[in-house]
Structure 1
């Protein structure tokens, strides 16, 4: 099983790109999953645009599936839980007020796990089109960064990898600062 998974990720089997797409979709539904590592690894085994496309479409599709599952199955159960947690209820209120902006910022600043954004947006009143638009726009810079890093690692361009890591670190630090301000 381990060899098959390695062969799929390393693009060694027929239709590996399709398996990689579904792997990214699945992993994007798991909180705190190693999406950056997997996205970089997938991108390192393809031409840049191909790797980026697999990563972007896979993570967006997985986010959409979890959003729909949350909206249709988990909504009533989750609302009771979220309203008891102060920080979650604040984010839910923000999503209710401006769903597009809340989802977009949650995607651009990678502090809140993607799966959490999907679940909270699903139990809110965010429309499907709004969610998809904000998700695509918000995931674009971070998935681009992960894919570019993987591609540059494969090419041995460590200076570029360092700049990309710095970019992701700055986004993370901005997110931590905003999260602290928002939580207080």
Structure 2
């Protein structure tokens, strides 16, 4: 299959997935309205009666959160850990967030990259490519930038999908763990300073590992080209 043919197939498949999600939301508008109103008791009561529906709804909610960040992430984690328990709720939230982020990344890359790259500064593009992993990872662990913007910015840039996926997987694994503790009352406002300190230490650890791996990779490339 030619490159153009492969790109067209990716665009088509991405469009089908997006349309499917949109149709699912429209056919379950009442349930998603309850989520929008933060009526957790009603939402959890409905979802507990149908496990398959629970997986679909919580995944679509995570997709919406990664697309527009109009639903608080803590709300989704509260639903998941309440229904599935702490461990499985945490793991499902993490897994669904990674898949949803990947879909948004592909949608942005296949539909908007060519258009937006022409309007972006070349130096910014080079910087994002060079520090792609840390750019995404930092945004996941320290959510000062909305999740949706990270996904879209990475998608329209030249960040490799591998770097994006690994950074998202590791970053969300850390951040979601702390968020999952809140519904159980194991993390409170008073503990925020300790949470931030722990996140800072974890960030520093991954940063050191990343720099060492990158240094060794550059050394191998240098020796190979000599």
TM-score interval (norm. to shorter): 0.7 to 0.9
Give ranges in structure 1 of 5+ residues lacking alignment: 84-88, 175-184
Partners of 1:108 and 1:142 within 8 A in 2? yes
Q: Which runs of 5+ in 2 are unaligned?
A: 1-28, 35-39, 201-226
Which residue number corresponds to residue 144 of structure 2?
111
Q: Could you tell me how far apart the structure 2 residues matched to 1:2 and 1:167 are? A: 39
Describe how 1:123-134 pairs up with structure 2 within 5 A.
Answer: 123-134=156-167
Aligned partner of 2:97 in structure 1 is 59
Give 1:1-184 correspondences, 5 Å limit.
1-2=29-30, 5=34, 8-10=43-45, 11-14=47-50, 15=52, 16-31=54-69, 33-83=71-121, 90=124, 92-150=125-183, 152=184, 157=185, 160-162=186-188, 166=192, 170=196
Q: TM-score, normalised by structure 1?
A: 0.72
For 2:168 and 2:143, the matched residues in 1 are separated by 12
TM-score relative to the length of structure 2? 0.60
The structure that has the greater radius of gyration is: 2
Does the CA-based 8 Å contact 1:31-1:114 persist in structure 2?
A: yes
Alignment length, in residue pairs? 160
Q: After the TM superposition, which of the residue ranges 66-75 and 7-16 deviates more from structure 2?
A: 7-16
What is the CA-CA distance between 1:168 and the residue it aligns to? 8.7
Contact 1:28–1:62 (CA<8 Å) still a contact in 2? yes
| 8 Å Cα contact 1:95-1:102 kept in structure 2 | yes
Residues 36-71 of structure 1, C-alpha deviation per residue, up to 9 Å, x if partnerless? 222223222321111112211221111111110111
| Stretch deviating more after TM superposition (122-131 or 104-113) | 122-131
Distance 1:31 1:93, change over 3 A: farther
Root-mean-square deviation (Å): 2.9
- 1:17–1:117 distance in 2 versus 1, CA, 3 Å: same
Higher relative contact order (CA closer than 8 Å, sequence separation 6+): 1
